[in-house]
Amino acid sequence: MTLPQIEPPSQALTTLTDDERLFSESVYEFAEREIRPLARQMDERSAVADGLLNKLFALGVMGIEIAEESGGSGARFFHSVLAVESLSRVDPAIGVIVDVQNTLVINAVLRWGNERLKHEYLPRLASDTVGAYALSEAGSGSDAFAMTARATANGDRWSLTGRKLWITNANEAGLFIVFANANPDAGYRGITAFLVERGWEGFIVGHKEDKLGIRASSTCELVLDNCQVPASHVLGEVGKGYKVAIETLNEGRIGIGAQMIGLSRGALDYAIAYVKERKQFGQPIADFQAVQHQIARAATEVEAARLMVYNAARLRDAGKPFLTEAAMCKVFSSEVAERVTSLAVNLYGGYGFVKDYPVEKLYRDAKIGQIYEGTSNMQLQTIAKQILGS
Ligand SMILES: Cc1cc2nc3c(=O)[nH]c(=O)nc-3n(C[C@H](O)[C@H](O)[C@H](O)COP(=O)(O)OP(=O)(O)OC[C@H]3O[C@@H](n4cnc5c(N)ncnc54)[C@H](O)[C@@H]3O)c2cc1C
């Protein structure tokens, strides 16, 4: 059999185009310069340092997919993945702020917003307004569509009542995507997404959680006390909020994969530097084959996770199906992050266990990857459904 003479694919999955490489490197350099010196203090204080959000806006990472004429960077989803990875290599708490802004909030407004909403909010999201995405409630996490928040039509307004829990960026956000059920009799087909501004009547940002990791990223409760929302602020269609949620979260979890690979690379960077420097038995601990193999295995796992995350993101940008790949990359990269950060703590020995050294923070930060934007069990359920066709 003769095979047709075709050019082999010219690029590896991790080969970046010039603009991707420049973008990724410039975000990483920014993170080294502006975030690394503040990371420990932000973790201790459970807050983003003053002025840092403004610098993230100025850098162009808060409106990556927003068109340049609306003040954004006019780039692709893959650039969001690169930005989240580069930031998370230094501080995963800052990585998730940028992740939610781009892969959930802006993504949803771009896809589901009408021209008026896009015109009103995209320039603000690109220039100075942090966004948040409010789906979960105390009683509905994995079973998100069992939400009890209600939306009642009232002339040219909607009135929202209920409570949302675990809302990332809520402390800083000016704009919230809030999900509430407008027709409980229709079950999940009543769920509707609304764009709600901070400060509107009946909208209250409540208790801020005291967390294990990613502490500089705020996570708050929202109280909707007859919150008044103009009818024009429905995102998508009434009763189609479940689609908004499913589709944005499918993409958002690639961003969490990016956070996890960035975090893992950060932990590995520290571990590699430390084992070369730390001496026991008269030699650097990097000379022990057991340590070499541990580092080699961790690097292999990080590479595999990176390939999975990049592949899912590239599929998404190519307009190809990516549901299974997105779920797989989140499950795997979050498990890798837990293992690699745990190894980094081990290789630092006692120093790994104290806050004077950076790896215990990354170990704490890693845990969230298996929980938010769909727990690992829920990702495995999605993968199984696709594979088994059930
Ligand atoms: C730091 C942080 C930030 C967050 N940010 C946001 C945000 O910005 N916006 C937002 O809307 N939400 C956010 N969340 C909420 C997050 O998405 C939920 O916590 C998550 O989806 C899990 O829901 P739950 O906490 O109710 O756990 P549960 O759903 O109660 O799950 C508990 C356990 O049961 C397992 N389980 C549940 N159902 C099944 C099943 N059918 N099969 C097998 N196992 C199952 C789960 O895997 C898990 O291990 C955030 C959470 C945290 C902690």
77 CA to centre of ligand 1 in angstroms: 25
C-beta 179 within 6 A of ligand 1 = no
Tokens at residue 185, please? Answer: 């009799």
Q: Looking at this protein, which amino acid is placed at residue 317?
A: D
pLDDT in tens, 40-99: 999 999 999 999 999 999 999 999 999 999 999 999 999 999 999 999 999 999 999 999
Position 119 scores a pLDDT of 98
Ligand 1 atom with the smallest distance to the CA of 211 is 1
C-beta 379 within 6 A of ligand 1 = no
| Beta-bridge mates of residue 283 | 280
Ligand 1 atom with the smallest distance to the CA of 144 is 21
Of 85, 251, 360, 373, which residue is the catalytic one? 373
- Can you tell me the distance from the alpha carbon of 244 to that of 241, in angstroms, rounded to the nearest whole number? 5
Ligand 1 atom with the smallest distance to the CA of 132 is 8
Task: Please name the helix (run of DSSP H) or strand (run of DSSP E) that holds residue 39, with its range, or none.
Answer: helix 39-45
> To test ligand 1's pocket by mutation, which of 136, 194, 334 has the most ligand atoms within 8 angstroms of CB?
136
Residue 373 bears catalytic tag? yes
Tell the residue nearest (CA) to atom 43 of ligand 1: 377
SS3 assignment, position 233: helix
Tell the residue nearest (CA) to atom 22 of ligand 1: 141
- Can you tell me the distance from the alpha carbon of 86 to that of 164, in angstroms, rounded to the nearest whole number? 30
Q: At what angle do helices 241-277 and 323-348 cross, to 10 degrees?
A: 30
Ligand 1 atom with the smallest distance to the CA of 374 is 21
C-beta 377 within 6 A of ligand 1 = yes
C-beta 171 within 6 A of ligand 1 = no
Tokens at residue 70, please? Answer: 């609306």
Tokens at residue 72, please? Answer: 């954004």
pTM above 0.95, yes or no: yes
Query: 363 and 345 in contact (C-beta within 8 Å)?
Result: yes
How does DSSP classify residue 61? -
C-beta 142 within 6 A of ligand 1 = yes
Position 5 scores a pLDDT of 67
Tell the residue nearest (CA) to atom 32 of ligand 1: 142
Position 4 scores a pLDDT of 63
pLDDT values of the chain reduced to their tens digit, one per residue, 390 residues: 666 666 655 678 889 999 999 999 999 999 999 999 999 999 999 999 999 999 999 999 999 999 999 999 999 999 999 999 999 999 999 999 999 999 999 999 999 999 999 999 999 999 999 999 999 999 999 999 999 999 999 999 999 999 999 999 999 999 999 999 999 999 999 999 999 999 999 999 999 999 999 999 999 999 999 999 999 999 999 999 999 999 999 999 999 999 999 999 999 999 999 999 999 999 999 999 999 999 999 999 999 999 999 999 999 999 999 999 999 999 999 999 999 999 999 999 999 999 999 999 999 999 999 999 999 999 999 999 999 997
| Beta-bridge mates of residue 168 | 219
SS3 assignment, position 348: helix
Q: How far separated are the first and last CA of the chain, in Å rounded?
A: 39
How does DSSP classify residue 223? E
C-beta 176 within 6 A of ligand 1 = no
Ligand 1 atom with the smallest distance to the CA of 138 is 26
107 CA to centre of ligand 1 in angstroms: 21
C-beta 375 within 6 A of ligand 1 = yes
Which residues 6+ apart lie within 8 Å of 125 measured at CB? 62, 63, 66, 101, 105, 106, 109, 131, 175
pLDDT in tens, 263-295: 999 999 999 999 999 999 999 999 999 999 999
C-beta 305 within 6 A of ligand 1 = no
Residue 316's region, left for phi above 0, alpha for psi from -120 to 50, else beta, is alpha
